[in-house]
Every structure is written in C-alpha cells, then in structure tokens.
Amino acid sequence: MAPKEFTLTPAYDRVVVTGGGSGIGRSVALAIAATGTGVYVLGRRVARLEETVRRGAGLPGRIVPVTCDIRAAETVAAAFRTIEEDGGPAQLLYHSAAAAYGSLAEDITPEGFAHVVQSSLVGAFHVIHRWAEPLIGAGLPGACVAVTSALASRETPGVAHSSASKAGVEGFVRSAAREWGRYGIRLNTIGPGPFPSEGTDELWEQGGIRARMESATALGRLGTEAEIAGPSLFLLSDAARYVTGVSLPVDGGLRLAQWTVHSPAESVSP
C-alpha cells in the first residue's frame, strides 16, 4: 500500500497508469487507488486490466480499465478521449508500459530493435505528448513519472535495444521538463533495479541472473512492490512539487556495482 505521507493532491483526483495490467504498473496503480485517488489503467490485454480491477476491489479509489496499444498514436488518442470524457484531462500520469527481451547486440534483428524502440520509446512519446496537450491548452498543471531503468545511463550488454530506448525516454523527459515547466507541468523518470515482475522473470532465470542481481545490489536483495510504489507516489505528489527533470534510481544500490545483465561472452536466447 502507499505510504500515507505521499497522499496525492486532492485536486488531482485521477491518474493515468500505462502498463497497468501487470508488473510495476499494476503495483503502482493499486497503491494509487489505496490513497483514494481514481486510476485509469491502460494496456493491450483486457483480461490483465480486469485482473487489476479485481485486485483493487475494496480500495477507496476507483480503477477503470482502458484498452490501448501505445505503439499506435491513434489508439493512445482514443484512450485519452475516453478518459477526458469521464471528467476532463487527468493531471497525473504514470507511464510504465514498455517491451524488452534478452539478446546480445549482434543477435538483435532490425525487426526486434524496431519493436522495442516502437514500444518503449515511441510509445512513451505518444503517451506523454498526448497527456500533456490538453493540460497545456487549458493552463492546468500536472505531473508525469515515466519508468525507465536504474541502468539506463550505463552499458547493459544483453539488452542494448532496451537500454537505448530507456535512455531515449530519459532524454525526452528531461527536455520536455525544461520546456513545460513554464506551464506548471513536472516530468521525472524512475529507474527500477531488480524488482520481481512478470516481464522479467523469464530473463532472470537464464544463467543465474537472479542470484547475480541479488548479490550485486548494495542491500543484497531484490526490491518489493511497496519499495517502488513509495518513490513513485512521492514523485507524483505535492511533496515533490519542486522536483522536475530528475531520474531517480530505485535499485538497492545496483548501479554502484561493476555489473551487467550479461557478460559480452554469454549467449542469450530471446
């Protein structure tokens, strides 16, 4: 559940969460709903979104599923129109949707690289840009947090395509934060380290990566859902109202280690 000190601003009564059907997106969506704030969970798979709604039953905040493929600008626009018809622009955005798979750089195909970039970088642009448009037009402030990676700013053999995309998201968010600050719109990124999720479990089982991740962190363990939800809500909340253009790593000290997902000599199956 969300830490009480990071209760969201009452005036910002709705949050859009992409990737809300699984992993970090689902965890943060439930933490937001626990504060009493309404949440729109966006994703491609209806069943997963409905599972988030089911898990949030009984929480004070309403959870509304909205199907959306962030790779296509027109479906993103349609999703935000649905949200805006339900009460105007949502002033808070948590963008966690992305795509990744393990592969050494020499094995990445043009199609595979394009798929990851389209989902993780172009998709982030579609969502963040469309979210901000009505806020700028109406003169409304807002706050956005985009999920990247604690290792986005360093070499990450084995996921070069994902690393490139995450670094691109951080670059876009910093630039937009500089431009949109005059509108009262804050944008930050959060860089998770090793957190258990549906999207990473298969990758972690290859070559003992899970054990290496645990031993590489300064704290010697994986993170928990509450440990990513707390910093996420902080960046969305008024407690961070003077914070913008920041990339916050939440990784148990993983970035302090001389460590990578795979050594360059390892073979990785997509």
Give the structural domain span for 237. 4-255
Type of residue found at 68: C
Please say whether the beta carbons of 43 and 68 come within 8 A: yes
Structure tokens given for 270:
């997509």
Q: What is the pTM of this model?
A: 0.90
The structural domain count of the chain equals 1
pLDDT at residue number 36: 93
Select the more confidently predicted residue: 132 or 221.
132
Q: What is the mean predicted confidence (pLDDT) over 25-53?
A: 96
Structure tokens given for 197:
């999720």
User: Domain of 215: which CATH number?
Assistant: 3.40.50.720
Q: What percent of the chain has pLDDT over 70?
A: 87
H-run or E-run covering 18: strand 14-18
Q: What is the mean predicted confidence (pLDDT) over 60-74?
A: 97
CA distances from 116 to 128, 229, 236 (A): 17, 25, 26
In a domain, 107, yes or no: yes
Select the more confidently predicted residue: 236 or 3.
236
